[in-house]
Amino acid sequence: MAVGDAGVANASPPVARVRRRRAPSSAIAFLSIAAALVAAAICVGPALAVLISAVTGARPAFEAFQQGLFLDSAAGTIVLVTLGAGAATLLGATAALLVTLMRFPGRSVFEWLLVAPLAAPAYALAYSYSSLTWAGGPVPAPLTGFVGAAFVYAVGFFPYVYLATRAALVAQSPSALGAARTLGAAPLRATLRIALPLARPGVAAGAALVAMEVAADYGAAVHFGVPTIATGIFRARGPFQDALLGNQMAAVLLIAALVFLWLERAARGRRKFVARDAHARPAEPFRAPWYAAGLATLFCAALVLFGALLPMSWLARLAMLNSNADLASLLRPLTNSVALAAIGAAATLALAILIARAARAGAVGRFAALFAASGYAAPGVVIALGALSVYGLARSLGWVGGLAAPAALLLLVWAYAARFTAPGAQPIEAGMARVTPGIAGAARTLGASAARRLWRIDLPLAGPSFVAAAIIVFVEILKELPATLLLRPLSFDTLAVRAHTYAADERMVEAAAPALLLTLVGLVPIVMLTRRLDRAAGAAR
């Protein structure tokens, strides 16, 4: 999986994947592994709490499989993951192939503009599209139910696949593709026969990320009235007054995510045949006939239009209708959002670095990393409830007091870290892979201490991917809704919370401004990140 490791993740020589650094036996190394395991335990905590309460309830867990609510919800999630992630994958991979391999008008702008939809939370897209297409609305498209949700996921999440695929293409395809073309293969044939297979791991990684996003999404699914496990958990806990069933459904989702992640990693582990010669130059994008170039421009423009431009300008129009607009009242939520996302990203990053180190150290570490990553597929509310139940345990034991501002914020940051370790750790792992055994070994041989190696070698080499990880987690936290809603302290609203409370009551005119502001705040770092990575990739050429 690779969101932000474009140009970095796969630039590592293949040796790093084949042979792992042997764990040094010094006390510091031991401590760093121990710290990593503690970090993983911290990240796993909330999910584990949910799993445990799912299997220790009054009813055996398998009975959940006989409940109509569970079956409907699971079927809905499967349909949506297939439709939404399938469409997002198709769109994202196609866009990546076009942008990387073909020359067409606007290509250099689309290269980074195609990432813009990442800044918009799925629920904001859902609000906007449903108010564009609702009964009697300006666009008479029936964007409802499964179709509506799958559409929003496709146009909102395709950038994950786009980024990962492009990273794979930029890093790996040039020489093989160049050879194929030198040997006279037509561009289309070369793309299908050479570029696509080489990009497959990237496509798969992006698809896995989208699948987890779709499975975890609550806001858009509930807005379109689609039964999914994420919305079913709410139904079980609310109307059915059956918290145990809710926990069991959450556990199923978590376990499915674990299996999924494990499969994805296993598939990635075999990707050893791809080699990149550090001196190879990426193949020049080919010149396409005018109609093909025109189609490519149209395709990319449509993606940007539907993923960002149209829904956001509609929100802007709605926001301007609001006669009671009080932009000043959004200042506090804005600063809260940014501060919370920054603190959350810092904490998540610290834990993710420790976990990524553990993942490089051996099987135990890899398993811990896998488990820690499963939180990403869990709806935010599941993780938040897990964190809350651990707090409840500590409170009932008299270890902690009330859930006032510092404690509530700490709990919230914990939930963020538990949920977003995966998108944080992935780029970091990829970046750390650049510290090859050769480099590390040389430093050790020359007598550099572990701390010195971390400072002088690991950080400079892997630094850029740390920045990428930080930005991605920052934006994810900015968009996060259910955990924030449940765990935040009194008198503490974020933009996401503001947008939601209005939209949940169908007051789109009032919801529009915070939703739009939230997207704009996320857009800045996302675009900066992509442009920076593009420059890095360009420099590598």
Partner 1 sequence: MPLRPSRRLVLAAAAFGALAACTQRAPSDAAGVAQDADARHVNVYTTRHYGSDQAVYRRFTEETGIEVRVLEIGGAELFDRLQTEGDQTAADLIVTVDGGALWRLAEAGMLQPLSTPALQAAAPARFRDPDNRWWAFAKRARVIVYNKESVDPVILRSMDDLAQARFRGQVCARSSANTYNLSMLAARIERAGADNARDWARGVVENFARQPQGADTEQIRAVAAGQCQVAISNHYYLLRLQNSDDPADREVASKVGVFIPDQDGAGAHVNISGAGVSAYSPRVAQATRLLEFLLSPESQSLFANLTNEFPVRPDVELTPGLAALGRFHEEQIPFEALGRRQAEAARIYEEVGWR
Q: What is the DSSP string of 352-406?
A: HHHHHHHHHH-HHHHHHHHHHHGGGGS-HHHHHHHHHHHHHHHHHTTS-----HH
Those residues whose C-beta lies under 8 Å from the C-beta of residue 455, and which sit 6 or more positions away, are none
Instruction: Determine the Cα–Cα distance for residues 447 and 147; give it in Å rounded to an integer.
Output: 61
DSSP state of 66: G
Please state the closest distance from residue 473 (CB atom) to partner 1, in A. Answer: 24
Residue whose C-alpha is closest to residue 392's, from 8, 46, 117: 46
Out of 197, 238, 269, 460, point to the residue binding partner 1 (CB under 8 A): 238
φ, ψ of residue 249 in degrees (nearest 5): -65, -40
Told to check if 488 binds partner 1 by CB under 8 A, we report yes
Closer CB to partner 1, residue 85 or residue 509? Answer: 509
Closer CB to partner 1, residue 26 or residue 56? Answer: 56
Out of 85, 486, 515, 521, point to the residue binding partner 1 (CB under 8 A): 486
Segment interacting with partner 1, rule: CB under 8 A, options 18-26, 233-241, 347-355, 469-477: 233-241
Which residue has 């994805």 as its token pair? 264
- Contacts made by residues 132-136, CB under 8 angstroms, sequence distance 24+: 132/310, 132/311, 132/314
Map residues 292-321 to x or -, x wherever contact with partner 1 holds by CB under 8 A: --------------------------x--x
100 neighbors 284 (Cβ within 8 angstroms)? no
34 neighbors 503 (Cβ within 8 angstroms)? no
Residue whose C-alpha is closest to residue 167's, from 225, 115, 232: 115
Span 337-396, contacts to partner 1 by CB under 8 A: 381, 385, 388-389, 391-393, 395-396
Told to check if 48 binds partner 1 by CB under 8 A, we report yes
Closer CB to partner 1, residue 5 or residue 242? Answer: 242
Report CA 319 to chain centroid distance, whole Å.
28
Out of 53, 173, 337, 426, point to the residue binding partner 1 (CB under 8 A): 53
Out of 234, 416, 420, 466, point to the residue binding partner 1 (CB under 8 A): 234
39 neighbors 354 (Cβ within 8 angstroms)? yes
Please state the closest distance from residue 134 (CB atom) to partner 1, in A. Answer: 5
Please state the closest distance from residue 306 (CB atom) to partner 1, in A. Answer: 20
Those residues whose C-beta lies under 8 Å from the C-beta of residue 191, and which sit 6 or more positions away, are 97, 101
Segment interacting with partner 1, rule: CB under 8 A, options 52-60, 169-177, 281-289, 445-453: 52-60
Map residues 59-78 to x or -, x wherever contact with partner 1 holds by CB under 8 A: ---------xx--x------
Span 168-197, contacts to partner 1 by CB under 8 A: none
Instruction: Determine the Cα–Cα distance for residues 518 and 506; give it in Å rounded to an integer.
Output: 18
Out of 183, 266, 490, 539, point to the residue binding partner 1 (CB under 8 A): 490
Closer CB to partner 1, residue 291 or residue 399? Answer: 399
Segment interacting with partner 1, rule: CB under 8 A, options 109-117, 227-235, 332-340, 412-420: 227-235
Residues contributing to the site for partner 1 (CB under 8 A): 48-49, 52-53, 55-57, 68-69, 72, 130, 134-137, 144-145, 223-225, 227, 231, 234-235, 237-242, 255, 258-259, 262, 318, 321-324, 381, 385, 388-389, 391-393, 395-396, 401-404, 485-486, 488-493, 497, 501-502, 504-507, 509
